[in-house]
A and B are shown apart, each in its own frame.
Chain A
């Protein structure tokens, strides 16, 4: 305060000294032997890069699809994963990626003043379209986040399938929250909590580096923890992959039910051959499905109602509401540390009541949005419950379209595939040891 006063007087004195009539601005002197330089700012010369990125993304998607579905080369996919980590990760520093682009698209859909660059739109759409036809080949080796976890999965253990089903709900909830926050202009939380971008930039805030490090460490033993239990874009891809026209086929001809693929898949995406159920069990299953179907509207409505309770907590993520709370706290004399934002607001001279009004308007919006988020949660949960209650028939081991990230491990290990490649003479060479040890009679035929 004192210093400000001192400077203010100094400023006046200086202004008087320089003889300026308008005491506000000290004129730039004209020198006898010195030219006043012009400000220089560094040029942003990488305007072309995003378009190059889109082209490379399309190329990489094509290559990944070819390697996973046609060439069936696990080695090729690993090489592509390394290339993706290097290019999209370390060289292009992880921005923009399709996962984050979801938020830009959501914001553009709701805010007409927001400008959505074509490259961002392309980044969002291209993998979706490819997934609709070929499954999640984007996840296999193009996405830098997926690729870095793929490379880290050195000794993956099997996560129990039931746990996998339950934890697999989190990405859908995360997607709901992320889209809501993006659409309201609250923030891009997927980018804020991106665990690996700090690695790609070789620096960043410490908590996120630690989180990313832990996730990568976990990824040595649990295959792709981010992709399976957090990634919101992965949630969209899972749904679209269910309608894919082509997908990874494990065995080139007939499945011998050796279970090697199921054993080797780190992502719990191989579904076993089904067995015939007795009539009684089938009837029980049908009853369970009916219960789940009846439960669905109850869950959606209950969670829709519960979600409205989130109006205040959700709205406080918004900068305007936070500012209003801060200004109000200082107005009421509540023990709140003074903030730059509140001080700047007071300096601006805008009446506080206007700020409160807009904050309350936002809170009303978040009341309905919270309800929608709750209903979405109920919908996702009931879809999962119904999914768990429906029986499907499968002849032979198959990759689950939704969960499969086309990493190629299953056919790499398939004995029938190894025969096709000419590595072994007959499937029994790969599985003989255990098959003979455990079921000698059945094998002797």
Chain B
């Protein structure tokens, strides 16, 4: 069967062209190899990187609650109990306009009631309460963090790595007003306040939990 309009020019591709293509290909391979090798030697780490908040820089601006690509933000508040004063009048728990020291809605600072207040002990006429973050309720707005910063600052925000999808460009980092978002090694993907870290380091001699926490914390 003869095709209609048989090809007009059936000239073979000239050898010169083939040679140039081959040359360009091998040049490209060499260039990619060289560039890749140089980058691998200079900058690479076999470790993966993760996003984390440096609590020393964070000003708890509430962007973390709204800017995350996840509907439920990967950022949550963390309580460092060893830094907490167990105050009866907790500035991270109570609204500045509180009326009574109880758990009623009008007295709470947290918009979702994620800070849990439990009475621990009464000592020398003073009541002590333990404040724990309910992870399921916390939306990472940082209101408690801002409140607590007036006192001990034991509450701080962290990216939770069981939730974070590790975007190449973190949307919260883009919106962060103080560039508190840093890339840290995935082996030790958490950061602590300097003071909190000192306290945990003191505790690490006695407690295995404290040691395992420190193993998760970025050394820098």
Whether chain A touches chain B in the assembled complex (some CB pair under 8 Å): yes
Residues of chain A having any CB pair with chain B under 8 Å: 2-4, 6-8, 10-11, 14, 17-18, 25-29, 31-34, 36-45, 47, 50, 93, 95-96, 100-101, 103-105, 108-109, 112, 114-119, 121, 125, 128-129, 132-133, 187-188, 191-192, 197-198, 201, 203-205, 240, 242-245, 254-257, 273-276, 319, 339-341, 343-344, 347, 393, 395-396, 426-428, 435, 439, 442-443, 445
Cβ-based interface call for B105 (8 A): no
Residues of A within 8 A of B9 (CB): 274, 276, 393, 395
Q: Is the CB–CB distance between A240 and B28 below 8 Å?
A: yes
Q: Are B10 and A395 in contact, with the CB atoms below 8 A?
A: yes
Interchain CB contact (< 8 A) of A203 among B2, B21, B69 = B69
Chain B contacts for A116, CB-based, 8 A: 39-40, 43-45
Known contacts A11-B150, A274-B9; decide if A428 and B1 are in contact (CB<8 Å).
yes
Residue B213 is within 8 A (CB to CB) of chain A in the complex: yes
**Is the CB–CB distance between A109 and B39 below 8 Å?**
yes
CA–CA, A375 to B120, complex, Å? Answer: 69
Can you spell out 28 A-B residue pairs with CB atoms less than 8 angstroms apart?
A14-B85, A14-B87, A29-B128, A34-B120, A34-B121, A41-B78, A43-B162, A95-B167, A95-B168, A96-B168, A114-B43, A116-B43, A116-B44, A117-B44, A121-B39, A133-B25, A197-B167, A205-B171, A256-B3, A257-B4, A257-B5, A319-B179, A340-B177, A344-B59, A344-B178, A396-B7, A427-B1, A439-B4
Given contacts A28-B82, A133-B25, 10 further A-B contacts (CB under 8 A): A3-B96, A25-B85, A38-B213, A39-B78, A41-B158, A50-B48, A105-B39, A121-B39, A254-B3, A340-B59
Contacts of B104 in A (CB 8 A): none
- Complex Cα gap A395–B11 (Å): 8
A31 touches B43 (CB 8 A): no
Closest to B20 in A: A243
Across the interface, which residues of B come within 8 angstroms of A96, CB to CB?
168
Q: Does B200 contact A (CB under 8 A)?
A: yes
- Is B174 in contact with A187, judged by CB distance below 8 angstroms? yes
The residues of A that contact B140 with a CB separation of less than 8 Å are none
Cβ–Cβ < 8 Å partners of B50 in chain A: 44
The reply to whether A243 and B21 form a contact with Cβ atoms under 8 Å apart is yes
Chain B residue numbers with a CB within 8 Å of A14 are 85, 87, 89, 151
**Provided the pairs A47-B48, A118-B40, A344-B178 are in contact, do residues A39 and B11 lie with their beta carbons within 8 angstroms?**
no
Whether A7 touches B169, Cβ cut-off 8 Å, given contacts A257-B5, A443-B4, is no
Once bound together, how far apart are the Cα atoms of A369 and B12, in whole Å? 44
- A257 touching B128 by the CB < 8 A rule? no
B101 to chain A, nearest CB (A): 12
B210: which A residues are within 8 A, CB to CB?
Answer: 38
User: Does B123 belong to the interface (CB within 8 Å)?
Assistant: yes
B48 to chain A, nearest CB (A): 5
A204 contacts B69, C-beta separation under 8 Å: yes
- Chain B residues with CB under 8 A of A445: 2
Q: How far is the CA of A52 from the CA of B67 in the complex (A)?
A: 30
User: What separation, in Å, do the CA atoms of A40 and B86 have in the docked complex?
Assistant: 18
Residues 62 to 94 of chain B near chain A (Cβ within 8 Å): 63, 69-71, 78-87, 89, 91
> What residues make up the interface of B, taking CB atoms closer than 8 Å to A?
1-11, 21-22, 24-25, 28-29, 32, 35-36, 39-40, 42-50, 59, 61, 63, 69-71, 78-87, 89, 91, 96-97, 120-121, 123, 126, 128, 130, 147, 150-152, 158, 160-163, 165-169, 171, 174, 177-179, 183, 185-187, 189-190, 195, 200, 203, 207, 209-210, 213, 216
Please give me the residue from chain A that is nearest to B97 by CB atom. A3
Nearest opposing residue in chain B for A92, CB measure: B165
* Chain B residues closer than 8 Å to A36, beta-carbon distance: 81-82
- Establish whether residues A44 and B42, one from each chain, have CB atoms under 8 Å apart when the complex forms: no
Cβ-neighbour of A192 out of B46, B169, B185, B187 (below 8 A): B169
Asked if B128 and A198 make an inter-chain contact with CB atoms under 8 angstroms apart, the answer reads no
Contact B121 A31 (CB under 8 A): yes
Contact A42 B160 (CB under 8 A): yes
Q: Shortest Cβ distance from A404 into chain B, in angstroms?
A: 16
Residues of B within 8 A of A38 (CB): 81-82, 200, 203, 207, 209-210, 213
Query: Taking chain A's interface residues, is the majority helix, strand, or loop, or is none over half, making it mixed?
Result: loop
CB neighbours (8 Å) of A244 from chain B are 25
A115 touches B44 (CB 8 A): yes
User: Top 8 A-B pairs ranked by shortest CB distance?
Assistant: A26-B85, A3-B96, A341-B177, A44-B161, A188-B169, A395-B7, A42-B162, A340-B177
**With A38-B81, A41-B216, A115-B45 known to touch, is A442 a contact of B28 (CB < 8 Å)?**
no
In the bound complex, CA of A257 to CA of B4 (Å): 7
With contacts A18-B126, A243-B24, A273-B7 known, is A28 near B203, CB below 8 A?
no
Quote the shortest CB–CB distance from B3 to chain A (angstroms): 4
Q: Closest CB-CB distance, B152 to chain A, in whole Å?
A: 6
Cβ-defined contact, B166 with A95, below 8 A? yes
Report B-chain residues with C-beta under 8 Å of the C-beta of A187: 169, 174
Q: Which residues of A contact B5 (CB under 8 A)?
A: 257, 273, 442
Residues of B within 8 A of A255 (CB): 3, 7
Rounded to whole angstroms, the CA-CA distance of A116 and B43 in the bound complex is 6
Chain A residues lying within 8 Å of B45, measured Cβ to Cβ, are 115-118
What are the residues of chain B within 8 A of A396 when measuring CB–CB? 7
**Are A26 and B151 in touch, CB under 8 angstroms?**
yes
Shortest Cβ gap from A336 to chain B (Å)? 14
A425 vs chain B, min Cβ distance (A): 11
Chain A neighbourhood of B177, CB < 8 A? 339-341, 343-344
Q: How far is the CB of B40 from chain A (nearest CB, A)?
A: 6
B179 to chain A, nearest CB (A): 7
